[in-house]
Amino acid sequence: MSARWSDRQQAMLREMGVTLWLPPQTDAMPLPEAAMSEPAPAPAPPPVRMSRPAAVSTAPNPPSVPRPLAARPSGVAAMDWLALREAVAGCEACGLCRGRQNTVFGVGHAQAQWMIIGEAPGEQEDRQGEPFVGKAGQLLDNMLRAVGLTRAEAGPEQQVYIANVLKCRPPMNRNPEPQEVAQCEPFLKRQVELVAPKLILAMGRFAVQSILQTGEPIGRLRGRVHAYQGVPVVVTYHPAYLLRNPADKARSWDDLCLAREVLRGGGPAPA
C-alpha cells in the first residue's frame, strides 16, 4: 500500500470520518554530496621549530684565584716602635692575615733586660692580641715570678718584653711554615734591636729553631748559651708543652737558673 493517498481517496476517507495520518512534508533540500561524505582530515598544524638548547659546558670551573699577597713593608730595619707596630698590623706578606682576628705584636718594657720569645699566637692570643695568655700564660707568669720577673708594669730589671716569632695565628694552630717565619723574621729582628735586651729566653721548638737557624731538638740545645743578633740566648720548653708534660718543669727551672746566671755575668759565654 502506498504511503501516499490520492486526493480523491483522502476526500472519501474524510467523509467517512476517518482521520488520516500523513507523513509530514519536508521542504529540506538534499545535502550536497560532499556533506555526506566522510569529513576531510583537518590540515596538519605547521611544524613547531624547537630551539636547540644552549650547549652546557662540561669543563670544570676555573679555580678561584686568590688575591695576590702584598709585599712586606719596606724599611723595617729603620722603624721606631710606632712605625713597627703599624707595619705589623698592616702586613699581608705571608697570607696568614686572611684568617687572623688580631696581630700579636708584643708586650712589656721597651728596654727590658729579659726578652721572652715564643712561637706563634694561638686561638686566645689571636683573639686578645697579646702573647702568652690563658693557662700557658699563667704558667709563664709563675715561672717569671720564681726568678723575680714580671710582665706587669715595672722597671727594666724586673719587667720582661714578650714577643713571638710569628705575629699572626696559623690556621687551626698548625705548625708555622718556613716561608711564614721568614716573612716575620725582620719584625722580630727589629724588636730585638729596639729592646736591646741583655738576655733572650727562647721558648718552644719552633722559636728556638727559628732564632738559632737549626733543626736540632730542644733537648740537645738546653744547658748551653747561644746567641741571636749578638744577644745571649737560653732555650727552654714552651709553657704549653709543660702543661702536657709536667715532669719537664724541673728542666725548665734549670734553664731559668742558667739564664739568671748568664744575666749576672756568671754563666758560660755564648757558643
Domain chopping of the chain, boundaries: 76-263
Higher pLDDT, 12 or 85: 85
Give the pLDDT confidence score for residue 35 in this predicted structure.
Answer: 38
Phi and psi at 116, nearest 5°, equal -100, 125
Give the pLDDT confidence score for residue 270 in this predicted structure.
Answer: 79
Asked if the model's pLDDT at residue 180 lies above 60, the reply is yes
pLDDT in tens, 40-81: 555 655 555 555 555 555 555 555 444 455 667 789 999 999
Cα separation, 29 vs 31, whole angstroms: 6
Fold for the domain defined by 76-263: Uracil-DNA Glycosylase, subunit E (3.40.470)
User: What average pLDDT does the segment 134-148 reach?
Assistant: 95
Cα separation, 164 vs 238, whole angstroms: 12
Give the ranges where 76-177 is alpha helix by DSSP (H).
81-90, 123-128, 134-146
pLDDT in tens, 183-220: 899 999 999 999 999 999 999 999 999 999 999 999 99
pLDDT in tens, 215-255: 999 999 999 999 999 999 999 999 999 999 999 999 999 99
What distances in angstroms separate CA 75 from CA 90, 101, 142, 184, one per listed residue? Answer: 14, 25, 38, 14
pLDDT in tens, 91-125: 888 877 777 889 999 999 999 999 999 999 989 99
Cα separation, 225 vs 166, whole angstroms: 23
DSSP bridge partners of 116: 162, 201
Give the pLDDT confidence score for residue 95 in this predicted structure.
Answer: 75
Instruction: Tell me the DSSP string of 193-227.
Output: HHH--SEEEEESHHHHHHHHT----HHHHTTS-EE
Residue 37 banded pLDDT, cuts 50, 70, 90 = very low
